[in-house]
């Protein structure tokens, strides 16, 4: 058994996330976490709401709430939606937690002591209309790189280029919309990433198995143009982690907070500390996941994120950990994703475009969305959600293949043998061939899951479902029963056991359907089919079962058309 630490990029607190956000980090992370647990590994799966910075302040201002109250409310909303999508976090924390505040200030102190933070006087944009300096995300304008007209002052959402507010063309205040801006001098702290460039470069080079998407983005930021730049890590804001060196005040930094992209990744550690406190565990219990001097040297750490988050996780966060010169666990593998687009356009939280998590659950249960999103995950290139493709995938994969198999087997058994696993009959060459085929395909499924190849894993799982359907159609127990009831009994006994195997294999993708299958079979045996032949005899003759309710209803054309019209691109 291995120990596996899994973190998903933190969703911003500023509203409900769309399906593109979900498939870009949290959902594939959950898939992997569920699979690792099923294989017997010790898993710590961590996520949290990212609550500091401009997005939180702007969102709270729109609702008229105090920012702390807004964040507390939205954390509850996002927690409920995560549960609705069956995201199996060990802890879903908050970057505003006392644990994260303490850790952020601790890292800042260590970095300063080691010479990796310096105070810099710089020019920043000041809004006369708002009477304040405008941190990067309070400024919008046209991206000088791609021409996107709603780029933010820290990064262009369209092309992902890192920006400074002064780079924007025709900048305006995101608070008031005012263009009456001027540049004034202010003092901030900078993380000297450039001093760690060679160390970061060597570390990235040592990660031979990382996805091309991850390493290519990291290398681009390291070497393109002027190379890795030092990064400001403080802002003129009221909401955030106050600037301190550990427990000590930081002269000249009064009234400033740490930049959200400095404290947010530290919350991975903070949320694990929150977990320890919430579950009554000691500090050593979270440290064994994060400090190599406390046991984390045998942990495999995997991160999941969209490609826009890669620079901060391959450069800035590792620089923070390395620069502390303390024995913190560095990530072993970063699984990054491209973008999921929506029906000819883009999903966008800021623009309210696409289907959002709450809306999705109002339409259909979580498993429908989980299956489509994971089986179409944007791994090697951007992907696109269309209602036609969604309908086709659900109907063909879930309803016609998996759901139909479970229904046919259980209903036929009930009609001919009653609601218990039938006895009698022996297996023949066809069943031996089936078992061999399943053995090969399940091992291939495991290989893809362990490699975190999400789409390929879904393809292998569907192929495993299809094998059972093809065998059932060929074996035709409904025809065999007329001449040889014992032979039909042997076939159905094998198929009922195959349903249990399907439930175990499918649980990472469609956990609710898997639970219904096991409930119908009246078993809590979720043992992994390491030996397929043995796994297909777990339920003995005489074992009672009930016919499960319909696992997946087909999506009708009129439903598809109505949803396509309702979600034509803008959230109400």
Binding residue positions for ATP? 349
Kindly report the backbone phi and psi dihedral angles of residue 338, in degrees, each rounded to the nearest multiple of 5, phi listed first.
-75, -165
Q: Give the closest residue to 209 by CA, choosing from 334, 329, 301, 321.
A: 334
State how far the Cα of 389 lies from the Cα of 355, in Å rounded to an integer.
15
Task: Write the CA distances from 426 to 420, 431, 486, 490, integer angstroms.
Answer: 17, 10, 8, 6
Question: Are 86 and 512 within 8 A, CB to CB?
Answer: yes
State how far the Cα of 298 lies from the Cα of 5, in Å rounded to an integer.
10
Burial of 385 per CB tally in 10 Å (0-12, 13-18, 19+): buried
Question: Are 472 and 408 within 8 A, CB to CB?
Answer: yes
Burial of 169 per CB tally in 10 Å (0-12, 13-18, 19+): exposed
Binding residues for Zn(2+): 143, 146, 156, 159
Please state whether beta strands 257-258 and 234-235 pair in parallel, antiparallel, or not at all (unpaired).
antiparallel
Torsion of CA 69, 71, 77, 83, to 10 degrees: -130
State how far the Cα of 525 lies from the Cα of 496, in Å rounded to an integer.
13
State how far the Cα of 473 lies from the Cα of 465, in Å rounded to an integer.
13
Which is it for the CA torsion 520, 521, 527, 531, positive or negative?
A: negative
Q: Which helix (H) or strand (E) holds 234?
A: strand 234-235
Kindly report the backbone phi and psi dihedral angles of residue 112, in degrees, each rounded to the nearest multiple of 5, phi listed first.
-65, -45
Encoded tokens for 215: 């390493």
State how far the Cα of 494 lies from the Cα of 475, in Å rounded to an integer.
11
Helix H, strand E, coil C: the string for 55-105 is HHHHHHHHHCCCHHHHHHHHHHHHHHHHHHCCCCCCEEEECCCHHHHHHHH
522-539 burial: b if 16+ Cβ within 10 Å, else e: ebeeeeebeebeebbebb
End-to-end CA distance of the chain: 48
State how far the Cα of 479 lies from the Cα of 171, in Å rounded to an integer.
74
Binding residues: 143, 146, 156, 159, 349
Which is it for the CA torsion 204, 205, 209, 212, positive or negative?
A: positive
Residue with structure tokens 């991160």?
303
């Amino acid at each position: 058994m291995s120990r596996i630490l899994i973190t998903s990029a933190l969703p911003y607190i500023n509203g409900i996330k769309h399906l593109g956000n979900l498939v870009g980090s949290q959902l594939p992370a959950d898939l992997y976490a569920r699979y690792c647990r099923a294989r017997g590994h010790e898993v710590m799966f961590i996520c949290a709401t990212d609550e500091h910075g401009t997005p939180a302040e702007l969102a709270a201002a729109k609702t008229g709430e105090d920012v702390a109250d807004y964040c507390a409310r939205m954390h509850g909303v996002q927690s409920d939606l995560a549960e609705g999508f069956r995201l199996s976090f060990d802890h879903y924390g908050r970057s505003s937690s006392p644990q994260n505040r303490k850790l952020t200030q601790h890292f800042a102190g260590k970095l300063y002591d080691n010479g990796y933070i310096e105070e810099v006087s710089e020019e920043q944009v000041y809004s006369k209309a708002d009477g304040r300096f405008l941190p990067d995300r309070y400024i919008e304008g046209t991206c000088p790189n791609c021409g996107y007209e709603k780029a933010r002052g820290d990064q262009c959402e369209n092309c992902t280029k890192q920006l400074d507010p002064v780079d924007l063309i025709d900048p305006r205040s995101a608070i008031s919309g005012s263009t009456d801006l001027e540049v004034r001098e202010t003092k901030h702290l900078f993380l000297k990433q450039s001093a760690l460039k060679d160390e970061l470069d060597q570390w990235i080079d040592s990660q031979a198995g990382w996805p091309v998407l991850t390493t290519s983005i990291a290398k681009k930021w390291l070497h393109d143009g002027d190379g890795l730049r030092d990064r400001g890590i403080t802002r003129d804001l009221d909401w955030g982690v106050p600037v301190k060196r550990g427990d000590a005040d930081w002269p000249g930094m009064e009234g400033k907070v740490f930049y959200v992209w400095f404290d947010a990744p530290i919350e991975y550690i903070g949320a694990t500390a929150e977990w320890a406190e919430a579950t009554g565990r000691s500090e050593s219990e979270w440290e064994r996941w994060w400090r190599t001097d406390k046991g984390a040297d045998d942990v495999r750490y995997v991160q999941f994120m969209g490609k826009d988050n890669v620079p901060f996780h391959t450069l800035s966060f590792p620089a923070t950990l390395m620069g502390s010169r303390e024995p913190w666990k560095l990530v072993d593998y970063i699984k990054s994703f491209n973008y999921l687009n929506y029906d000819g356009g883009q999903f966008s939280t800021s623009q309210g475009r696409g289907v959002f998590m709450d809306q999705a659950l109002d339409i259909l249960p979580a498993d429908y969305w989980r299956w489509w999103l994971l089986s179409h995950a944007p791994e090697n290139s951007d992907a696109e959600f269309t209602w036609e493709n969604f309908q086709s995938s659900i109907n063909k994969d879930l309803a016609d293949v998996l759901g139909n198999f479970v229904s046919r087997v259980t209903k036929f058994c009930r009609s001919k043998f009653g609601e218990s696993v039938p006895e009698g009959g022996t297996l023949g060459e066809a069943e031996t061939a089936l078992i061999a085929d399943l053995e090969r395909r399940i091992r291939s499924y495991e290989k893809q899951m362990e490699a975190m190849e999400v789409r390929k894993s879904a393809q292998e799982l569907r192929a495993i479902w299809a094998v059972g359907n093809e065998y059932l159609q060929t074996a035709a127990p409904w025809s065999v029963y007329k001449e040889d009831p014992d032979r039909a009994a042997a076939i159905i006994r094998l198929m009922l056991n195959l349903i249990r195997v399907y439930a175990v294999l499918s649980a990472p993708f469609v956990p609710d359907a898997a639970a219904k299958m096991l409930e119908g079979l009246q078993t809590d045996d979720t043992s992994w089919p390491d030996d397929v032949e043995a796994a297909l005899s777990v339920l003995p003759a005489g074992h009672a079962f009930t016919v499960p309710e319909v696992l997946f209803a087909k999506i009708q054309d009129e439903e598809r058309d109505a949803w396509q019209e309702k979600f034509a691109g803008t959230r109400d």
